[in-house]
Chain A
Amino acid sequence: MNTLAEPSYRSRVGYQAGLLGGFALLAAALLVMGDIATRDTIALREAEDLKATLTQVIPAELHDNDLLEATVPLVDDTGRTVTVYRALRGGAVSALAFPVVGKGYAGEIRLMLGVDPEGRILGVRVIAHSETPGLGDKIELAKDDWILDFDGRALGAPPAARWAVAKDGGDFDQFSGATITPRAVVRAVRAGLERFAAERSRLIVAPDRLDTAEE
Chain B
Amino acid sequence: MSQPQPTDWRRIAADGIWNNNVVLGQALALCPLLAVTATATNGLGLGLASTLVMTLSGVLVALVRSLVTAEVRIPVFILVIAVLVTLVDLAMNAWLHDLHKVLGLFIPLIVTNCAILGRAESFASRNPVLPSAFDGLMMGIGFTLVLVALGAVREIIGSATLFADASLLLGESMAFLELTLIPDYPGFLLAILPPGGFLALGFMLAGKRLIDTRRARIRARGATAAPV
Contact = CB atoms under 8 A, between A and B. Distances in A.
Interface of A: 1-3, 6, 10-11, 15-16, 19-20, 23-24, 27, 30-31, 34-35, 37-38, 41-42, 45, 48-49, 132-135, 177
B interface, how many residues as a size bin?
Answer: 20 to 34
A188 to B, nearest CB: 22
Given A134-B189, A135-B189, A177-B189, A34 B82 contact: no
B69 A15 contact: yes
A30 B193 CA distance: 39
B1 interface: yes
B182 to A, nearest CB: 15
**A-B complex: 4 closest residue pairs judged by Cβ atoms:** A41-B94, A38-B94, A1-B70, A45-B97
A133 B192 contact: yes
Contacts of A135: 189
Contact of A134 (B69, B71, B83, B187): B187
Nearest to B88: A34
B47 interface: no
Contacts of B90: 34-35, 37-38, 42
Contacts of B69: 6, 10-11, 15-16, 19
Contact of B93 (A16, A31, A42, A48): A42
B158 to A, nearest CB: 7
A34 B86 contact: yes
A207 to B, nearest CB: 30
16 contacts: A11-B69, A16-B72, A19-B68, A19-B69, A20-B72, A23-B80, A31-B86, A31-B87, A34-B87, A35-B90, A38-B90, A42-B93, A45-B94, A133-B38, A134-B158, A134-B159
A200 to B, nearest CB: 34
A106 B81 CA distance: 30
B189 A27 contact: no
A138 to B, nearest CB: 11
Given A31-B87, A34-B87, A134-B192, A42 B70 contact: no
Contacts of B86: 31, 34
Given A42-B93, A133-B192, A30 B76 contact: no
Given A20-B75, A48-B97, 6 more contacts: A16-B71, A23-B80, A27-B80, A37-B90, A37-B94, A177-B189
Contacts of B76: 19-20, 23
B91 interface: yes
A27 B1 contact: no
A15 B126 CA distance: 21
A198 B34 CA distance: 46
A145 B192 CA distance: 22
B73 to A, nearest CB: 8
B67 interface: yes
A6 B70 CA distance: 11
A39 B182 CA distance: 45
Contacts of B126: 1
A181 B91 CA distance: 34
A41 B95 contact: yes
Nearest to A135: B189
Contacts of B93: 38, 42, 45
B79 interface: yes
Contacts of A1: 70, 73, 125-126
Contacts of A42: 90, 93-94
A59 B163 CA distance: 33
A15 B187 CA distance: 60
B91 to A, nearest CB: 6
Nearest to A6: B69
B97 A27 contact: no
